[in-house]
Amino acid sequence: MSRWEEDVTDEYEIEWSAFADNEIPAADDPYETSRSKRRQSRLRLPSGSEFGYGLDFPYAQFCEHPPQCLLRSVEGGWSVSAGAEPDCQKHMGRFDLLLNLTGSSVLARHVIPVQQLAHWEKPPLVPEIVLDWPDMGVIDLPRQFWSELVAHLASTRSSLLVFCVGGHGRTGTAIASIMTVCGWESADAIAWVRANYCTRAIETKLQEHYVHRIAGENAPINSTTLPF
């Protein structure tokens, strides 16, 4: 595990904590999960029958992503962690704010937007931002959204958990976008996320170009993204 600090050009200073992609957390690691190191799979056949708990399919390339702290302010006031929704479910209560990129709330139980019935509503214990972000795609939010998100984290000294279903495309794009508003160049942010979070992060050219756009930069001619 390596740690270093970067001086950034914006008003925030971040300590970038790099965790090797193949690093296995210790048994007493608070971010460790009890899940198997190989994600269990269920295969549903066209007939409707199903099989396959714990089967190892050679073509299935699953990554497990329990919450991993990637960004932390130098002052220690706020932090950003990332992961995949199935691997983060047991840990969401540890964070002050969730950034859910799946489009569907994972915490809401009763949502009743009727004043006379509001007393029956059961709001989530942790505030949850839910973005309708298409899988393999991008979202129509500008740089100002990410700047205001970072400003909120800094002013409230909050811990944020960012996640999507697989923890790769949308999550990686969001993390890189946060880094760019903190002063990183987009290409460096993309490379850092892939090197220190997951090599499969930021899955499409469209997602990569979104990070360049958030940084106010033109996309390079030679894209480094995965060939989707």
Residue 43: alpha-carbon gap to chain centroid: 26
Distance in angstroms (rounded) separating the CA atoms of residues 139 and 131: 8
pTM of the predicted model over 0.75: no
* AA identity, residue 88: C
Which neighbouring-strand residues pair with 97?
160
Domain 2-30+65-214, CATH 3.20.20.70 — does that match? no
Tell me which residue has tokens 């993309």: 190
List the domain boundaries for the chain: 2-30+65-214
Of 85 and 99, which is predicted with more confidence? 99
Q: Is the pLDDT of residue 31 over 80?
A: no
**The CA-based dihedral angle spanning residues 85, 72, 17, 129, taken in that order and rounded to the nearest 10 degrees:** 20
Confidence of residue 2 (pLDDT cuts 50, 70, 90): very low
Q: How many other β-carbons are positioned within 10 Å of the β-carbon of residue 133?
A: 22
Q: What is the pLDDT of residues 138-149, one digit of tens each?
A: 999 999 999 999
